[in-house]
Amino acid sequence: MAEGTASSGFPLSAGLRRLTLLQISVPTVLLVFGVYHGFVQTLYRAGILRADSFLGIDYYQGLTLHGVINAIVFTTLFAVAFGNALIARFLEREPNTRVAWLGFAIMLAGTLLAAFAMFTGRASVLYTFYPPLQAHASFYIGAALLVIGSWVGFFNWIPVYLGWRRQNPGKKTPLAIVGIFSAFIVWLIATTPLAYEVIAMLIPWSLGWIDEINVLLARTLFWFFGHPLVYFWLIPVYVMYYVMLPRIAGGKLFSDFAGRLVFMLFIVLSAPVGLHHQLGDPGIGTSWKWLHTILTFGVALPSLITAFTLAASLEYAARQNGGSGLFGWWAKLPYLDRERWLFAYLFVGLVLFFFGGITGIVNASYSVNNVVHNTAWVPAHFHTTVGGPVLLGFTGMSLYLVAKVGGKSVRLPRLNVAVPYLWLLGVALFSTAMSITGVDGEPRRTNLGLTYTNPNSSLFVEGWWTLGRITAVGGTLMLASMVAYFAVFFATLCSKRRAAPSIDFPVAEAYHDERAGIVENFRPWIVVAVVLAVVAYIPPLYDVLRATFSGSEGFSPD
Amino acid sequence: MDRAERLALIVASAMLVAFLAAVAFAVVRLDIGLPTCLTSMEPFESGEVIQHTEDRFEIHYLAMMWDFEPDEVEIPSGATVDLYLTSEDVLHGFQILGTNVNLMAVPGTVNYARVRFDEPGEYRIVCHEYCGVDHHAMAAAIHVVAQ
């Protein structure tokens, strides 16, 4: 395309363009802190840092910052910004700019409140904020505002979508729109009980308006939210995988039906599975733990369908690129293509997710969970899911959006294409070492350097200390990868505009494109999702209430 | 639907069913279970070891910031132990390394597991849930002595 001609994409208004750039840049700046605290974790855990704190930040304070920023703030702000861009491009109408700004302002206010509490050491309660450890009220209020702001962002898309449906009767909704709506329907279902936990229980309790709360109830409501949360992270990446990756690779999406079915299955099965995080908890009957185990295996199905569909799509692309043979075609994909760099980000995410899927099935396997629950195995697992496809998809797409919407070209392209591979190497070392020590019982979320990996402590465990070094090497490579990413991102952000700002994405055609009415309508899936969530949660909540003998007042972590 | 796609769907579903069957086998035939909802026992306020017979013990573990009570216990090998667990303050974790015991200690409730120690030796108990500034130092042990 010649300089100065109109872009092929959707021209964005100045208001939405500025909002998008800001809503991508703010979480990226925060991610710098989040990544730093992740790296320092590996030093503490390896026993290289043997201290309560480093550079003025306490271990558990840093761990809280790492989890909250990376998993909650970065992901939520990004998902809404990505959704705004998808709506504008695929429905060819912008969501209301003022409402979009309002949603962002609420999320930002929440983020700043929570950041205040965390940076001043008033909320070292980790990102799960389990009571009765009690944080400053500003932490809980901040979390509530972040969620409410994201709802505003989502509700802003609904009139645009309904308008599109009216104007395009009988047309299939674009797959990208189906995907991003599924993500936010899952989010809305998940955050409803979370809102109850935070607004009706934690905020009044932290302000002293009520003395005691039911700890197990709060924990159960949290995990009602906590597992669908991971699909809220994952589904936007699935949008990139289904809609964009096949096109970037030079091919087509193998099956449009598979994409639609997968998104609908996520709506139905994301929520009624949370008890697999509470398999070791008291006060919940084993029948309900079984039910959630079976449903969790059900929610593995859409990911297995995805594995097949994406492999088939990549094979088709590779054969279009001249690949042949049973496995020889794998050589014909643009792994190191600097122009099509987004391929590397998405592809490496898929590689990591292969392991994330397998280890996830282990975690959900009922009593097998006894071996790994709350051990280092768990962070080893989720750094190949939320730290795999989600991180690489979200950072890659952040860079893509900043370049596209800002009318810039990506700077440092050679370094950029190395980012995902460096990350892959780092996570491979990190997660392998932690999986081994985890099965051996090494606890997660623990300042190991002071005890378990300290040769002078009576609790010293030699194997954890030895493998901790490998974890730290992995952490260092992960840090290097992210430093490279930040260099590329900020160099691109600060570079001169070269093209007319617009929004466009690579969009794959479907190889098999059949009509299947059942996956073309959200309504029946939402109804089933709500019914299933209620049925799967009423009996365990009843158990929780009758097994709890007394409420708890708040405790400070120190 | 494409033939390969249908086949993939069938294989994936069959795989998941096979995994579930393996888990069910472990529960039913090998008796490796999970804690359930216990409403018959109120949370206790101190830890204790109760010996019922030569090879049947009951231990009440009280978790607190940042210790377990009792923190050192001696048990003869081959004994069956009923473990009851609660917390007097915040959430704590309770994993006996080298066994399948992995429980959460939740204030206001009682958790339960049964374990048999066949091999003599020192079994370490690790608190694996963050419970405040000294969480990393919260541990206990069970010494299993040869009969």
Kindly state whether A515 is in contact with chain B, defined as any CB-CB distance less than 8 angstroms: no
Question: Mean of the pLDDT values across residues B50-67?
Answer: 96
For residue A67, pLDDT over 80 is answered with yes
For residue A1, pLDDT over 70 is answered with no
Question: Mean of the pLDDT values across residues B89-113?
Answer: 97
Nearest Cβ partner of B33 from A126, A294, A367? A367
CB-based contact B100 A514, cutoff 8 Å: no
Which residues of A carry out catalysis? 227, 231, 381-383, 444-445
Nearest Cβ partner of A450 from B1, B136, B139? B136
Nearest Cβ partner of B97 from A133, A300, A441? A441
| Average pLDDT for chain B | 95
Confidence band for B2, pLDDT divided at 50, 70 and 90? confident
CB-based contact B42 A549, cutoff 8 Å: yes
Please give the DSSP secondary-structure letter assigned to residue A43: H
Question: Mean of the pLDDT values across residues B4-9?
Answer: 92
pTM of the model: 0.96
List the single best residue of A459, A460, A538 to mutate versus B (max B Cβ within 10 A): A459
For residue A70, pLDDT over 60 is answered with yes
pLDDT 10s digits, A356-397 = 999 999 999 999 999 999 999 999 999 999 999 999 999 999
pLDDT 10s digits, A289-320 = 999 999 999 999 999 999 999 999 999 999 99
Residue A8, pLDDT score: 63
Residues of A with Cβ-Cβ distance to B101 under 8 angstroms: 370
For A169-173, A436-440, B71-75, which range has the lowest pLDDT when averaged over its residues?
Answer: A169-173
Question: Mean of the pLDDT values across residues A9-13?
Answer: 87
CB-based contact A284 B37, cutoff 8 Å: yes
Question: Mean of the pLDDT values across residues B106-121?
Answer: 96
Kindly state whether A456 is in contact with chain B, defined as any CB-CB distance less than 8 angstroms: no
- Dihedral sign (CA A95, A192, A23, A246): negative
For residue A4, pLDDT over 50 is answered with no
Confidence band for A10, pLDDT divided at 50, 70 and 90? confident
Residue A6, pLDDT score: 38
- What is the CA angle B15-A186-A349, rounded to 5? 60
How far apart are the CA of A216 and the nearest CA of chain B, in angstroms? 7
pLDDT 10s digits, A539-554 = 999 999 999 999 999 9
For residue B31, pLDDT over 90 is answered with no
Kindly state whether A447 is in contact with chain B, defined as any CB-CB distance less than 8 angstroms: yes
How far apart are the CA of A505 and the nearest CA of chain B, in angstroms? 27
How far apart are the CA of B61 and the nearest CA of chain A, in angstroms? 14
List the single best residue of B104, B115, B134 to mutate versus A (max A Cβ within 10 A): B104
For residue A7, pLDDT over 80 is answered with no
Residue A3, pLDDT score: 34
Residue A515, pLDDT score: 81
For residue A525, pLDDT over 60 is answered with yes
DSSP A212-277: -B-HHHHHHHHHHHHHHHHHHHHHHHHHIIIIIHHHHTTS-EEEHHHHHHHHHHHHHHSSTTGGGG
Nearest Cβ partner of A282 from B12, B104, B132? B104
Peptide bond into B66 cis (omega under 30): yes
Decide the pairing of beta strands A510-512 and A253-255: parallel
Confidence band for A77, pLDDT divided at 50, 70 and 90? very high
CB-based contact B128 A285, cutoff 8 Å: no
Q: Are A4 and A500 in contact (CB under 8 A)?
A: yes
Nearest Cβ partner of A255 from B5, B132, B136? B5
Kindly provide the ipTM of the predicted complex, given to two decimals: 0.96
Q: Which one is predicted more confidently, A5 or A307?
A: A307
**Residue % of chain B over a pLDDT of 90:** 93
Kindly state whether B131 is in contact with chain A, defined as any CB-CB distance less than 8 angstroms: yes
Kindly state whether B7 is in contact with chain A, defined as any CB-CB distance less than 8 angstroms: no
Residue A47, pLDDT score: 95
Residue the block writes with tokens 């393996």: B22
DSSP helix/strand/coil, B107: coil
Question: Mean of the pLDDT values across residues A486-494?
Answer: 98
Question: Mean of the pLDDT values across residues B75-91?
Answer: 97
DSSP B18-84: HHHHHHHHHHHTS---------SSPPPSS-EEEEEETTEEEEEEEEETTEEES-EEEEETT-EEEEE
Kindly state the tokens that stand for A167.
Answer: 């104007």
For residue A73, pLDDT over 90 is answered with yes
Report the C-alpha gap between A407 and B1 in whole angstroms: 41
Kindly state whether A326 is in contact with chain B, defined as any CB-CB distance less than 8 angstroms: no
Kindly state whether A439 is in contact with chain B, defined as any CB-CB distance less than 8 angstroms: no
CB-based contact B132 A254, cutoff 8 Å: no
pLDDT 10s digits, A129-175 = 999 999 999 999 999 999 999 999 999 999 999 999 999 998 999 99
Task: Give the number of residues written for chain B.
Answer: 147
Kindly state whether A452 is in contact with chain B, defined as any CB-CB distance less than 8 angstroms: yes
Residues of A with Cβ-Cβ distance to B33 under 8 angstroms: 286, 367
